[in-house]
Amino acid sequence: MQEYSRVAVLTRNDAINPLYHEDITQHVLKPDFLVIGAGVAGLRAAIELASAGQVLIVTKAEPKESSSEYAQGGIAAALSDDDEVELHELDTIAAGDGLCNREAVRVLVEEGPPAIEDLLEWGAEFDREGSKLLFAREGAHSRNRVLHAHGDSTGREIVRTLWQKVSAYPSVRILTFTAITELLKSGDTIAGAMAYDEWAGGMVSISAKATLLATGGLGRVYAATTNPDVATGDGVALAYRAGAEISDIEFVQFHPTALHLEGAPCFLLSEALRGEGAFLRNSAGHRFMSQYHPMAELAPRDVVSRSMVQEMLRSGASSIQLDLTHKSGGFVRNRFPRIYETCKRYGIDLATQSAPVHPAAHYAMGGVRTDLVGQTTLERLFAAGEAACTGVHGANRLASNSLLEGLVYGARAGRQMRGLAAAAAVDAEPVAKPTFPAIEESALRQLAWQKLGILRSGAELTEALAELSGIQCAEQPKAPRRQHELRNMHCVAQLIGRAALAREESRGAHRRTDFPNTRDEFQKHSLLRTGSAQVRFA
């Protein structure tokens, strides 16, 4: 088709490599289906859509640059002989601290095992002991049910497998180094999107019968995060500006163990390390987690992160020590090669030295509100993966459920979108010119870290919202991609602050120092929509 003449066609050789991208700013692209994001959820949806029409995947950077690619911990599913779907369901609900959508959880755990079987059929290479799959245990799981690939490269292996599968379909095209800046609307129906072509420095219009937000997380809103640079909350901000409902956005999970060394990246040290017996020690060298939770180092992530913060506040230390030196010499190097080599590069030999760690923003439980097939509150707009909120994670995600959610709900959204293949395209309304906040990205991220972070108070949240709303915004001709991302981060920070201020309790990953207890009247989901000043709970 003519409109695709300058968009790269996937081939097996292209998968997970940067793709050539020409100037397409003079073209209006007209795929049947628009998939925004190239992580697990987006790729899994594209596989479902490929037989129903032309699919265009849009990604801000190289195809491999997504949170999925960096996921180390694993993927959970009740596949082992001593496990049951019901146990996985109970563990997920317990971690969610009273806010899980039980129907969504049931879908996840029941459709999880066949989703893994699909990956195995498509060539995924998970770790094995002999001929049998090797299952590990992570925090708050009652059984060994977490699969890994190459020790600590699970996300990378799943993404590789999905790219190989999707590349077999000539109907799937990809547009790289292109950032979606606005969703196009006709009333309450989404008609496609506007995009910024980074290479050409201009705008592209994309018309589609159905659009999927699979944009991943929002960790870059915070100064310390395990997320890649592209995780700027784009899907949430795009959907909110278009009028879609945002739910549970106050629940941001801070992973307890990110490498904390001057000059080193905020590199995730997988929870699987603690699952294999790593200890957390305070500045005095003492293990402390048993004082906070009976599961000690394997307590839910929110408990571990807050406990670490309390230990650091008590001692004045800037980090906690993650200790694996009691394991045999070659264990860490063989079991977690990527983690071992990264730490070694920055002067830490995990076989003989403990690693300084500190919590960092890792995962958003909330996002664009959807039903169980990915439908948002706007017609023809779908969301899946971390950008979406089905309620499956409640107030705190169970470890290794995120990759599984991307697979299960990405496939569900794709199947639902197929029903629009015969629909007519919708003419979009004009889009207002964007305005951009006059603040340095580092200042915004530091503000979020200090006042919207692990421990929150009404006073600090009020101060943060006043600062954020007081930032001047103005038009900027030919704004680069980073300005569009900053605009989205500014929007998402305000949404987090508003929802966190309205939730006057502590639950899951949301901890208010002025409301330290869980309150029954808040066993509801927060809901925000543009045009409404109030946060609703339902």
Q: What is the pLDDT at residue 5?
A: 34
Alpha-carbon gap, residue 98 to 386, rounded angstroms: 20
Q: Are 425 and 210 in contact (CB under 8 A)?
A: no
| Catalytic residue, candidates 220, 301, 412, 456 | 301
What does the pLDDT look like over 288-311, one tens digit per residue? 999 999 999 988 888 999 999 999
Per-residue exposure over 265-298, b if at least 16 CB sit within 10 Å of its own CB, e if not: ebbbbbbbbbbbebbbbbeeeeebbeebbeebbb
CA distance 237 to 368: 9
Q: How far is CA 125 from CA 129, 132, 155, 158, 295, in A?
A: 12, 12, 11, 9, 31
**Tokens representing residue 55 in the block:** 């699919």
Q: Which residues contact 179 (CB under 8 A, 6 or more apart)?
A: 60, 195, 196, 198, 234, 481, 484, 485
Tell me how long the chain is: 538
Q: What is the DSSP letter of 222?
A: S
**pLDDT band at 399, cuts 50/70/90?**
confident
* DSSP code string of 45-65: HHHHHTTTS-EEEE-SS-TT-
112-141 pLDDT, tens digit each: 999 999 999 999 999 999 999 999 887 789
**Residue 261 near residue 320 (C-beta atoms within 8 A):** no
pLDDT for 123: 96
Tokens of 173: 């095209």
Coil, strand or helix: which one is 179?
Answer: strand
Cross-strand partners of 184: 192
Position 9 confidence tier, pLDDT thresholds 50, 70, 90? low
Give the DSSP letter of residue 289: G
Domains of the chain (ranges; CATH) run 2-68+162-250+363-420 (3.50.50.60), 70-159 (no CATH), 256-361 (3.90.700.10), 436-515 (1.20.58.100)
Q: Return phi, psi of residue 264, to 5°.
A: -105, 155
pTM: 0.92
pLDDT, tens only, 423-478: 999 999 998 999 999 999 999 999 999 999 999 999 999 999 999 999 999 999 88
Q: Determine the Cα angle at 484 with ends 478 and 490, to 5°.
A: 140
Residues 6 or more apart from 217 whose CB is under 8 A from it? 67, 227, 231, 233, 363, 364, 386, 387
Crossing angle for the helix pair 102-121 and 85-95, to the nearest 10 degrees: 130
* DSSP labels, 457-512: -HHHHHHHHHHHHTS-EE--TT--HHHHHHHHHHHHHHHHHHHHHH--S-BTTB-B
**Residue 120 burial (CB count, 10 A):** 14
**Amino acid identity at 301:** R
Can you tell me the distance from the alpha carbon of 346 to that of 325, in angstroms, rounded to the nearest whole number? 17
State residue 64's pLDDT score.
Answer: 61
Q: pLDDT at position 174, please?
A: 92
Residue 229, CA distances (Å) to 251, 310, 364, 486 in order: 20, 29, 15, 12
Q: Which residues pair with 36 in a beta bridge?
A: 58, 213
* pLDDT at residue 65 greater than cutoff 90: no
Q: Among 250, 239, 198, 210, which Cα is nearest to 56's?
A: 210
Q: What is the pLDDT of residues 162-206, one digit of tens each?
A: 999 999 999 999 999 999 999 999 999 999 999 998 877 888 999
3-state per-residue secondary structure call for 308-342: HHHHHHHHCCCCEEEECCCCCCCHHHHHCHHHHHH
Task: For residue 34, give the H/E element and its range.
Answer: strand 33-36
Integer Cα distance of 307 and 423 in angstroms: 53
pLDDT at residue 6 tops 60:
no
pLDDT tens digits, 250-279: 999 999 999 999 889 898 898 889 989 999
Tell me the pLDDT tens digit for each residue of 91-105. 999 999 999 999 999
Average pLDDT of span 522-527: 98
| pLDDT bucket at 12, cuts 50 / 70 / 90 | very low
Half-sphere exposure of 468 (CA within 13 A, CB side): 28
Pairing outcome for strands 279-281 and 320-323: antiparallel
- Give the number of other Cβ atoms within 10 Å of residue 433's Cβ: 9
Neighbour tally for 475: CB within 10 Å: 10
Compute the distance between CA of residue 307 and CA of residue 454 in angstroms, rounded to an integer: 11
Q: CA nearest 287: which of 273, 301, 308?
A: 308
**Measured between alpha carbons, how far is 304 from 307 in angstroms, rounded to an integer?**
5
Q: Are 68 and 40 in contact (CB under 8 A)?
A: yes
Catalytic site residue 301? yes
Q: For residues 409 and 107, what is the distance between their CA atoms, to the nearest angstrom?
A: 9
